[in-house]
Structure 1
Amino acid sequence: MRITKIEKKKRLYLLEVDESEKLYVTEDTIVRFMLTKGMVLDEETLKEIQIFAQFSHGKNLALYHISFKQRTEAEVRKYLTEHEISSEIIGQVLETLKEDRWIDDAKYIENFISQNMNNGDKGPFVLKQKLLQKGIAAQLIDQEMTKTDFSELSEKVGQKLVKKYQAKLPAKALKDKVVQALSNKGFSFNQAQAAFTSLEIENDEENELDLLYKELDKQYRKYSRKYEGYDLKQRLIQALARKGFGFDDINSALRDYF
């Protein structure tokens, strides 16, 4: 068999053998086998060229995909599968890229967490879910996650939440709101509780009373249409307690109504 044509086609080269058999190869393949027009090939060499060409093409595709941003092993595997690279070649490509540290899921996790610690507000549970969606093994995620102390981040996020809600909620409701918000962001209940406890929160009694009377006016307008006397008072106490106001403050405020 003789190479009758070598022609550049964008990223690949068209290799024609005996003016009949055609295959696309990478520049690395041309260099590795020192392919030239007129070169004579045997069956074994042609098979080696075909196998290496597939591997080289798969590797080049993977490196192109990685060049835009860091990728996980699963993301690269999916990309190569979508480009119809065989599973056997994909396995070889991934092993090579991991050996050369182009793919490193542990490093990906480390960078992912670091970015969140610097610019994000998510706790470990949300981060784990996002990393699982990237195709990373849960065991590796847990292993890397234990290296990070999230207490400082939880306190920073908690402080922002306090500033957002403090003027709108009484003390008890504020705590419930902040702890729940931190939990929704992926911090454990214990982390959320500890974060709130660590914050220095000034108790603004004047603002809390103002909030109480505003809420009482609102609830009074709502329930006074259907209830009166003892029933109305009990409804108001229950409604205000659910909003986080203390019973002593509620009873004191209700004296203006009954």
Structure 2
Amino acid sequence: MKITKLEKKKRLYLLELDEAERLYITEDTVVRFFLSKDKIISQEELEAIKDFAQFSYGKNLALYDLSFKPRTEKETRDYLLKYDIDETVIDRVVTNLKKDKWLDDAKYANTFIEQSLATSDKGAYVIQQKLKQKGISQNIIEEALKNQDFSAVLEKTTAKLVKKYQDKLPLNALKTKVKQSLTTKGFSYQEANLAVDSLELERDCEQEESLIERDLEKLQRKYSRRYEGYELKQRLTQALMRKGYDYNDIKSHLREY
């Protein structure tokens, strides 16, 4: 069979044969098979051209996506699937990209962790979950995290959280809030405890006086619409304890109130 047309169409070439067959191929395919108009090719050569064109197209798509930023193997597979690339072709493309170091999940994980340590306030657990979502295996994640030190991030984040909440909460509630926030950010409960305890926070009695008076006034307005007498006192006591105030302080302020 003879090639009757070989015409460039944006990123691809349109290849037409005298047997009314037409297909789009990459420039790499044209070069690899020395294709030109009027060239005679066999059916076997045509199948090889089709096969390589699919692989080349998939690889070019992946390289285009990788030109914006590094990707994991899973991200590249998902990207190619969106373009209806056959999964067997995707396997070949990924294998080729890994061989040429375009894809390297271990390197990606190490870089991701180093960037997180430098710019974020997240602990190891959150980073681990993010890497899992990107399709990186547990073994690679564990190896990448093995020798990383999160102590500086933990210290910085703890201090930032204390500064954020210390004017709004009594001491007990402040400690609880900071510990909860640290675990939400991916630090272990043990890390959160040690970080908060190491600050040796002390009560500011004047500040707590102001806070309990403020909260008591708000709660009284809320509960006095439905309760009175002993039941109102119990509701106020329970609500203030949930906010972290000391029971004796609550009793004292309720007496005065």
Q: Same fold (TM over 0.5)?
A: yes
2:42 counterpart letter in structure 1: D
**Structure 1 counterpart of 2:204:** 204
2:33 and 2:49 in contact (8 A); partners too: yes
1:59 and 1:93 in contact (8 A); partners too: yes
Instruction: Name the stretch that deviates more: 238-247 or 158-167.
Output: 238-247
Normalising by structure 1, we get a TM-score of 0.88
1:89 counterpart letter in structure 2: V
Residues 163 and 175 (structure 1), Cα distance of their counterparts in 2 relative to 1, 3 Å cut? same
**Structure 2 counterpart of 1:239:** 239
CA distance in 2, matches of 1:22, 1:234: 83
Query: Which structure 1 residue ranges, 5 or more long, are not aligned?
Result: none
**Structure 2 counterpart of 1:165:** 165
1:110 and 1:144 in contact (8 A); partners too: yes
Residues 233 and 108 (structure 1), Cα distance of their counterparts in 2 relative to 1, 3 Å cut? same
CA distance in 1, matches of 2:108, 2:239: 49
Q: 1:15 deviation in Å?
A: 1.7
Deviations along 1:46-73, one digit per CA (max 9) or x if unpaired, are: 2222211111111001111111222111
Residues 29 and 201 (structure 1), Cα distance of their counterparts in 2 relative to 1, 3 Å cut? same
Deviations along 1:114-161, one digit per CA (max 9) or x if unpaired, are: 222222222222222222222222333233233322222122111111
1:154-233 paired onto structure 2 within 5 Å:
154-199=154-199, 201=201, 203-221=203-221, 226-228=227-229
CA distance in 1, matches of 2:223, 2:36: 92
Residues 5 and 210 (structure 1), Cα distance of their counterparts in 2 relative to 1, 3 Å cut? same
**Count of matched residue pairs:** 256
2:15 and 2:24 in contact (8 A); partners too: yes
**Structure 2 counterpart of 1:91:** 91
Identity %: 55
Residues 232 and 25 (structure 1), Cα distance of their counterparts in 2 relative to 1, 3 Å cut? closer
Q: 1:102 deviation in Å?
A: 1.0
**Structure 2 counterpart of 1:51:** 51
1:94 counterpart letter in structure 2: V
**Structure 1 counterpart of 2:62:** 62
1:179 and 1:193 in contact (8 A); partners too: yes
Give the secondary structure class of the aligned counterpart of 2:239: helix
Query: Which structure 2 residue ranges, 5 or more long, are not aligned?
Result: none
Residues 211 and 12 (structure 1), Cα distance of their counterparts in 2 relative to 1, 3 Å cut? same
CA distance in 1, matches of 2:122, 2:238: 34
1:14-53 paired onto structure 2 within 5 Å:
14-18=14-18, 20-53=20-53
CA distance in 1, matches of 2:21, 2:235: 87
CA distance in 1, matches of 2:184, 2:5: 63
CA distance in 2, matches of 1:205, 1:133: 46
CA distance in 1, matches of 2:99, 2:67: 17
**Structure 2 counterpart of 1:150:** 150
Q: 1:233 deviation in Å?
A: 5.0
Deviations along 1:234-254, one digit per CA (max 9) or x if unpaired, are: 554433322212234334444
1:155 and 1:198 in contact (8 A); partners too: no
CA distance in 2, matches of 1:26, 1:165: 59
Normalising by structure 2, we get a TM-score of 0.88
**Structure 2 counterpart of 1:108:** 108
